[in-house]
């Protein structure tokens, strides 16, 4: 009976509308923040940061971004990989053209550039919906990758066609480049994730979020009550692009260190992030985290169990992963479209009443 | 607009009905070959409950859709507060203080009752994207202020116990009530109700009738409503427009309309030639 709301009365609407209305949730949130900021950085090693924490943090940002657009505003996008590439290349150009400016500014600006590009490609959403919009964003995906491979200006005419992340520091601590400590990379991405999650949470609980959801649930009724569909969709594409761009910038600059548009930001990235929000839960910030954690951890787990313990060949294990992910997607789409987040919510609802369900 | 009627009068139950706020002039609306509305004119006065009745397919919903900017008529004009209205998008009409409900409920199924009603207050919420992103100052203040206004409507319509329930889980009668709440949240000067009591049982109909009368009485909201149930219409409305096959066949007080031969024929199903 630790998890309860009895005796936890709200005396103002402000309290009722906070991010975690139940005390226990709030405490758990503080505990997680404490662990993430004050414990993990001191105990992580290279393997944990590179195999698990960095991809989790960065994909969480991307998943939040896509969830805003698809889960909250109902606009399907298969262009996430391409938009992450925009963030990565924008960050690279900014880092090399303005080396004296802080990397923090560069990452934020990369998000801004991506927001702009995302809005441009989102304009057709005013005329087309569903499947046709998906195809249009797919076209954006291929166009953007082609553009970054084709125009040497984007990769500063390097012979390999790759972009490489130069060393940049925050408070004299390297956060990008080959000599970066694992904990520094971790902290840098964690700060961005925290910022993005808070912004996303604030937007989705206020009037902008309600406009997005209104458009998602019934665009005609939304327009009747006064939602301007143009503005609502454009703002969803913009905010989504901002987060996805930040994720792309971090993936390139901090995690990969070097990238090439086709390899690092191909269509598989688009699907990966889409699967994350489907499994995690459409229209849920928590679901974005859950989905990212799940799809980052799954291959690591499978590899350890199948290859490490059972001695399967690596390629067989990799194929097995496809089968599992595919099966899960189908299961979730059919049985629980709101994903892990909904399972969690149901479990909590039961817990709230336990042990006296009546 | 020289024929606009500014005389106000007091009804038998003591409500003041003002001058004309909205006037439909010679409206014709066609869908391809189908003439949904044919050369119809009528007006709506400040503070009255104006009913539109008629058999199925008469063009009643189409008429509300014209008023709310959903369809633009091929011929005729809409005058609002004496001014001719340009063709408008529905969200622009909403901004002028005209709210509505739908014949087939149009709520946001994935959102809670509270969030649905809060969407009705979008015009009152002006905080920009950045202010909301940081939940700073204005965004926070607005959210609380508007929540207070919405809670008043929730109390008024007696739906306190379901405010956090996702709309998709509600029974039909309650959904209709939530839809009314969302429309009221906008604090409209004109409220358009498309068959607010369709599919309800007697008890639910009585509740809804009471709410409609209370809204009109307490907030002074002008109401135009479509209803099938003649008994309800006679009880609620100040004046009635009768439509049949896209044409206006009657217009007047409930008593006038009840005794109008064309109306009796339409309702008794006298064969059309
Ligand atoms: N969007 C539309 N497209 C084509 N025909 C329509 C449309 N909306 C209404 N109609 C036609 O217009 C006529 C009036 O419909 P409607 O206004 O819904 O009637 P009522 O609400 O009085 O039952 C009907 O013949 C209907 O088929
Ligand atoms: Mg109708």
CATH number of the domain that B209 lies in?
3.40.50.300
Best of B64, B88, B108 to mutate (most A CBs within 10 Å, chain A): B108
Interface contact B133-A216, CB threshold 8 A: no
> Total domain count for chain B?
2
Domain boundaries, chain A: 42-263
**Which positions ≥6 away from A246 have C-beta within 8 Å?**
A61, A65, A87, A107, A108, A110, A111, A114, A192, A196
Average pLDDT, chain B: 86
Confidence of residue A343 (pLDDT cuts 50, 70, 90): confident
pLDDT in tens, A131-182: 888 888 888 999 999 999 888 887 878 878 788 878 777 787 777 777 788 8
Nearest CA in chain B to A219: B108
Q: What range does the domain containing B137 cover? A: 110-187
User: Are B2 and B89 in a shared domain?
Assistant: yes
A227 pLDDT above the threshold of 80 = yes
Q: What is the pLDDT along chain B (273 residues), one digit of tens a residue?
A: 344 455 777 877 777 888 889 999 999 999 988 999 999 999 999 999 999 998 888 899 999 999 988 899 999 999 999 889 888 888 888 888 999 999 888 889 888 899 999 998 887 777 778 778 787 777 778 888 888 888 988 988 888 888 888 888 888 888 999 999 999 998 899 999 999 988 888 888 888 999 999 999 888 899 999 987 778 888 889 999 999 888 998 888 888 888 888 777 777 655 444
User: Are B5 and B53 in a shared domain?
Assistant: yes
Q: Which of B109, B125, B127 sits opposite A217 (nearest CB)?
A: B109
> Which residues in A lie closer than 8 A to residue B139 (C-beta atoms)?
202, 206
Interface contact A13-B148, CB threshold 8 A: yes
pLDDT of residue B148: 87
What is the C-alpha radius of gyration for chain A, rounded to an integer number of angstroms? 21
| Among the listed residues B211, B193, B223, B173, the one whose alpha carbon sits nearest the alpha carbon of residue B100 | B193
Asked if residue B105 belongs to a domain, the reply is no
**Which positions ≥6 away from A200 have C-beta within 8 Å?**
A64, A67, A68, A239, A243, A285
End position of a domain, from candidates B135, B163, B187: B187
pLDDT in tens, B151-186: 988 988 888 888 888 888 888 888 999 999 999 998
3-state secondary structure of B251: strand
End position of a domain, from candidates B161, B187, B213: B187
Does residue A241 or residue A323 have the better pLDDT? A241
User: Are B158 and B232 in a shared domain?
Assistant: no
Its ipTM equals 0.79
Burial state string for B183-192 with b = 16 or more CB within 10 A and e = fewer than 16: bbbbbbbbbb
| Among the listed residues A26, A221, A15, A232, the one whose alpha carbon sits nearest the alpha carbon of residue B147 | A15
Q: Which of A16-25, A185-194, A218-227, B202-211 has the lowest mean pLDDT?
A: A16-25
What pTM did the predictor assign? 0.83
Interface contact A211-B122, CB threshold 8 A: yes
| Among the listed residues B213, B198, B242, B209, the one whose alpha carbon sits nearest the alpha carbon of residue B52 | B242
Q: Would you state the structure tokens that stand for residue B258, as one six-digit string?
A: 């009840």
User: Are B76 and B211 in a shared domain?
Assistant: yes
pLDDT of residue B74: 92
User: Are B54 and B14 in a shared domain?
Assistant: yes
End position of a domain, from candidates B187, B222, B249: B187
pLDDT of residue B23: 92
Asked if residue B104 belongs to a domain, the reply is no
Q: Would you state the structure tokens that stand for residue A189, as one six-digit string?
A: 């991405």
A184 pLDDT above the threshold of 80 = yes
Q: How far is the CA of A257 from the centre of ligand 2 (A)?
A: 62
User: Are B239 and B203 in a shared domain?
Assistant: yes
Average pLDDT, chain A: 83
Q: How far is the CA of A95 from the centre of ligand 1 (A)?
A: 60
B51 phi and psi angles, rounded to 5 deg: -100, 145
Handedness of CA B180, B181, B182, B186 (dihedral sign): positive
Rounded distance between C-alpha atoms, residue A317 and residue A331, angstroms: 21
CB-CB contact of A72 with A204 (8 Å): yes
Q: Would you state the structure tokens that stand for residue A63, as one six-digit string?
A: 């998943």
Q: Counting ligands in written order, which one lies closest to the CA of residue B56?
A: 1
Interface contact A214-B132, CB threshold 8 A: no
CA distances for B136 relative to A89, A151, B118, B131, B142, angstroms: 32, 42, 19, 5, 10
**Which positions ≥6 away from A80 have C-beta within 8 Å?**
A62, A65, A66, A141, A244, A269, A270, A273, A274
pLDDT of residue B1: 38
Asked if residue B103 belongs to a domain, the reply is no
Confidence of residue A85 (pLDDT cuts 50, 70, 90): very high
User: Are B89 and B120 in a shared domain?
Assistant: no
Share of chain A above pLDDT 90, in %: 31
Count of alpha carbons within 13 Å of A41, Cβ hemisphere only?
A: 15
Rounded distance between C-alpha atoms, residue B198 and residue B184, angstroms: 19
């Amino acid at each position: 009976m630790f998890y309860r709301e009895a005796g936890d009365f709200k005396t103002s609407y402000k309290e009722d509308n906070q991010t975690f209305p139940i005390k226990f949730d709030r405490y758990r949130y503080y505990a997680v923040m404490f662990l993430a900021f004050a414990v993990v950085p001191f105990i992580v090693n290279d393997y944990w940061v590179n195999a698990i924490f960095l991809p989790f943090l960065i994909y969480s940002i991307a998943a939040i971004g896509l969830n805003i657009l698809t889960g909250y505003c109902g606009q399907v996008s298969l262009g996430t990989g391409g938009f992450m590439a925009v963030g990565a290349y924008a960050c690279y150009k900014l880092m090399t053209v303005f080396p004296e400016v802080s990397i923090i500014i560069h990452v934020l600006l990369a998000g801004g550039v991506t927001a702009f590009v995302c809005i441009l490609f989102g304009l057709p959403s005013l005329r087309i919906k569903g499947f046709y919009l998906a195809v249009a964003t797919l076209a954006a995906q291929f166009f953007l990758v082609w553009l970054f491979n084709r125009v040497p200006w984007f990769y500063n005419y390097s012979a390999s066609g790759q972009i490489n992340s130069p060393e940049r520091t925050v408070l004299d601590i390297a956060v990008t480049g080959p000599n970066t400590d694992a904990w520094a990379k971790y902290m840098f991405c964690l700060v961005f994730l925290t910022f993005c999650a808070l912004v996303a949470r604030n937007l989705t609980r206020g009037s902008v979020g309600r406009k997005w959801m209104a458009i998602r649930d019934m665009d005609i009724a939304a327009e009747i009550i006064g939602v301007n569909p143009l503005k609502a969709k454009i703002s969803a594409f913009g905010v989504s692009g901002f987060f996805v761009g930040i994720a792309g910038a971090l993936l390139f600059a901090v995690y990969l260190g070097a990238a090439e548009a086709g390899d690092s930001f191909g269509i598989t990235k688009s699907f990966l992030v889409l699967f994350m929000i489907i499994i995690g839960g459409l229209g849920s910030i928590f679901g974005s985290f859950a989905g990212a954690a799940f799809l980052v951890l799954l291959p690591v787990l499978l590899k350890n169990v199948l290859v490490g313990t059972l001695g399967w060949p690596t390629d067989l294990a990799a194929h097995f992963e496809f089968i599992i992910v595919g099966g899960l997607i189908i299961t979730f789409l059919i049985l629980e479209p709101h994903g892990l987040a909904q399972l969690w919510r149901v479990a909590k609802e039961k817990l709230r009443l336990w042990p006296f369900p009546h | 607009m020289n024929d606009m009627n500014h005389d106000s009068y007091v009804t038998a139950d003591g409500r003041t009905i003002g001058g004309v706020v909205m006037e439909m002039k010679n409206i014709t609306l066609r869908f391809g070959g189908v003439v949904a509305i044919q050369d119809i004119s009528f007006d709506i006065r400040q503070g009255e409950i104006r009913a539109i009745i008629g058999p199925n397919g008469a063009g009643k919903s189409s008429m509300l859709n014209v008023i709310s900017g959903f369809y633009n008529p091929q011929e005729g004009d809409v005058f609002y507060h004496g001014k001719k209205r340009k063709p408008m998008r529905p969200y622009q009409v909403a901004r002028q203080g005209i709210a509505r409900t739908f014949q087939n409920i149009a709520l946001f199924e994935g959102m809670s009752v509270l969030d649905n009603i809060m969407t009705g207050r979008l015009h009152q919420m002006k905080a920009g994207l950045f202010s909301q992103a940081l939940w700073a100052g204005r965004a926070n203040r607005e959210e609380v202020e508007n929540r207070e206004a919405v809670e008043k409507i929730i109390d008024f319509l007696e739906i306190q116990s379901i405010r956090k329930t996702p709309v998709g889980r509600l029974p039909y009668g309650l959904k209709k009530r939530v839809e009314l709440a969302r429309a009221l949240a906008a604090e409209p000067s004109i409220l358009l109700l498309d068959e607010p009591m369709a599919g309800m049982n007697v008890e639910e109909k009585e509740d809804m009738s009471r709410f409609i009368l209370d809204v009109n009485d307490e907030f002074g909201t002008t109401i135009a409503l479509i209803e099938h149930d003649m008994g309800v219409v006679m009880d609620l409305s100040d004046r009635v427009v009768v439509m049949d096959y896209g044409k206006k066949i009657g217009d007047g007080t409930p008593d006038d309309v009840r005794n109008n031969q064309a109306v009796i024929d339409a309702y008794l199903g006298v064969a059309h030639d």
